[in-house]
Chains A and B, each alone.
Chain A
Amino acid sequence: MSLDASIRLALGPLDLDMAVTVEEGEVVALLGPNGAGKTTLLRAIAGLVPFRSGHVRMDGKVLEDTATRQYVPTERRPIGFVFQDYLLFPHLSVLENVAFGLRSRGISRQAAADRAARWLDRVGLQGYAGSRPAELSGGQRQRVALARALAPDPRLLLLDEPLAALDATTRAEVRRDLKRHLESFDGIRLVVTHDPLEAVALADRLVVMENGHLVQSGTPAEVTEHPRSQYVADLVGVNLLRGAAEQGSVKLASGHVIAAAGAELGDVFVVVHPRAVAIHRTHPEGSPRNVWSGRAQSIEMMGNRVRVRIDGVVPLVAEVTPAALRELNLVEGGEVWISFKATDVGVYPA
């Protein structure tokens, strides 16, 4: 049992060319910045957006294929879709919302109501059957949306930013519940999110996309350890550079050379953790092989750490303690030296 989608389409400024597969038993998160085309891809898989070429197959069955001109309309696809702002029908009660998919599939009123009521129990909303969606809190609405999508027993569950509409306090709690429901659902699960925390919490595998194209995919650990784009590097909070490796050093596109212990040959990514970058007021003495000067462009407090963005031959972010910052007597625009050891540089093929 699996989902296999390969979709190419152009929609306004978006030029989408993506292939996604979701295997049985795994939860895949589509991660990417706003405008990357995640939602469009999800809607195309559901049959809500026509595409120029490609296919959507599930369990070996074709749902859509431009080559053979096959198209199964959305309403006949075995899907459950949780929309970003849930789109609960405002004119129907909570129970009627959850029963809607069952009724659409020809189940009798009574049977649909019974099953919908059981789903409300499962998501902890017994007693809200007669309420209107507008009377519920954000977290409750999210759970109704989930129950509504799951009630007709779909094979494929698509969730579009399921927690984005919630405030921070509810989000953590709803995320826990959502994870539990995702685990107990034995179909194919695909979640769209722009929040790395959510992606890592919910998914077994991340598919990172940017500008309509695949950037990288892998387990959360693989993705965070080896970022392959500025977007992922920013999410993880590391410095990401790219250049040509040459036995112990990497030549960047700017011409600058970085000493990197693990570097061999070829096009590589270079990762330097901000914690590994030391800041000095004068040219440092000692063993670090990478030393250059720059200007402290911005200084940001991040909890018990300070992130200093340094604009030099190679712009980098360094992370120091507030005490160290005081000792350095550093202000924005101040002249500094930075250093990091060749052994603190991560290198992997691009």
Chain B
Amino acid sequence: MRQERVPIVIVVPAAIGAAFFIVPLVGLIVRSPWGDAITALTAPETLEALKLSVIASLSATAVALVLGVPLAWVYARVTFPGRDLLRALTTLPMVLPPVVGGIALLLAFGRRGLLGAWLNSTFGITFPFTTVGVVMAETFVAMPFLILTVEAGLRSMDRRYEEAARALGANRWRVFTRVTLPLIAPSLFAGSVLCWARALGEFGATITFAGNFPGVTQTMPLAVYLLLETNQEASFILSLVLLLVSLVVLVGLKDRWLGSA
């Protein structure tokens, strides 16, 4: 097939645009002290941060699934006044500076926060500067990705399958678990992975709400940032690890969510 000649006024800015992304990544790879990679990666604080990151991001994804799927279902299936406003509010963290999210969380769940004060005085529960706080911060920032993806999946699925299930005697729970969820499995999967990747990279809300305590709230991005001050080479290596994880997720999702060309 004859390929159309691409105009030069397109090619040049396009190439610059691409380079803008690629050069920093190349820089990360080229400047990383590969010789010290093993040492940096197996340092106890690195492993601790890595472990915490994995646990917190997976927990955040689990929480997002439990709370976000029903919310997405409500958005897709129930009409009620203020639905659009509510959807906008729960989508806000996608565009909000994460630091602002962290402050908002502090004002709500902090020791003297709206709910936090009561939780603290009644049950003695505090969230800020705990691992639970990390999970909360990550969920806050990452759950909108899951909600939006799942809502889109619910809207685009053929609802007549649910009717077919009802006509076969399935109650609402069975329709939901045996028909609806399997049919939106691709959206569920894509939403979970996006949510998890966003949670894994979370920095601003986490450091604001949960702080930066090694072993308790210091996740990988926080460790990278801290190492930049003390041990630049190690921070490069850890950055590279986060980069690879993101890349794997993106490539794996290509067909499912970003649409294969």
Contacts and interface: CB of A to CB of B under 8 A. Distances in A.
A binds B: yes
Interface of A: 43, 46, 48, 73-76, 79-81, 83, 87, 89-92, 100-101, 104-105, 148-149, 152
Interface in B148-192: 158, 160-161, 163-171, 174, 178-179, 182-183, 185
B182 A91 contact: yes
A75 B185 contact: no
8 tightest A-B CB contacts, nearest first? A101-B168, A104-B169, A81-B167, A87-B164, A104-B170, A91-B182, A74-B166, A105-B169
Contacts of B169: 75-76, 101, 104-105, 152
Nearest to B158: A87
Contact of B164 (A76, A81, A91): A81
Nearest to B164: A87
Interface in B108-165: 158, 160-161, 163-165
A89 B174 contact: no
Nearest to A48: B163
Contacts of B185: 91
17 contacts: A46-B167, A74-B167, A75-B170, A79-B167, A81-B167, A83-B164, A87-B160, A87-B164, A89-B164, A91-B182, A91-B183, A100-B170, A104-B165, A104-B168, A105-B169, A148-B168, A149-B168
A105 B164 CA distance: 14
Contacts of A73: 166
Interface of B: 158, 160-161, 163-171, 174, 178-179, 182-183, 185
B178 to A, nearest CB: 8
Contacts of A89: 161, 164-165, 179, 182
Contacts of A91: 182-183, 185
Q: Could you tell me the dominant secondary structure of chain A's interface residues? A: mixed
Nearest to A98: B168
A147 to B, nearest CB: 12
Q: Could you tell me the dominant secondary structure of chain B's interface residues? A: helix
Nearest to A49: B163
Nearest to A145: B164
Given A91-B182, A91-B185, A100 B160 contact: no
B183 A104 contact: no
* Residue from B164, B168, B178 having most chain A Cβ neighbours under 10 A: B168
A87 B183 CA distance: 12
Contacts of B178: 100
Contacts of A152: 168-169
B174 to A, nearest CB: 6
A242 to B, nearest CB: 40
Contacts of B168: 75, 81, 100-101, 104, 148-149, 152
A104 B164 contact: no
A87 B158 CA distance: 9
A190 B171 CA distance: 24
Nearest to A85: B160
Given A48-B166, A104-B165, A75 B183 contact: no
B182 to A, nearest CB: 4
A48 B165 CA distance: 11
B164 to A, nearest CB: 4
B184 to A, nearest CB: 10
Nearest to A151: B168
A48 B179 contact: no
Contacts of B183: 90-91
Nearest to B185: A91
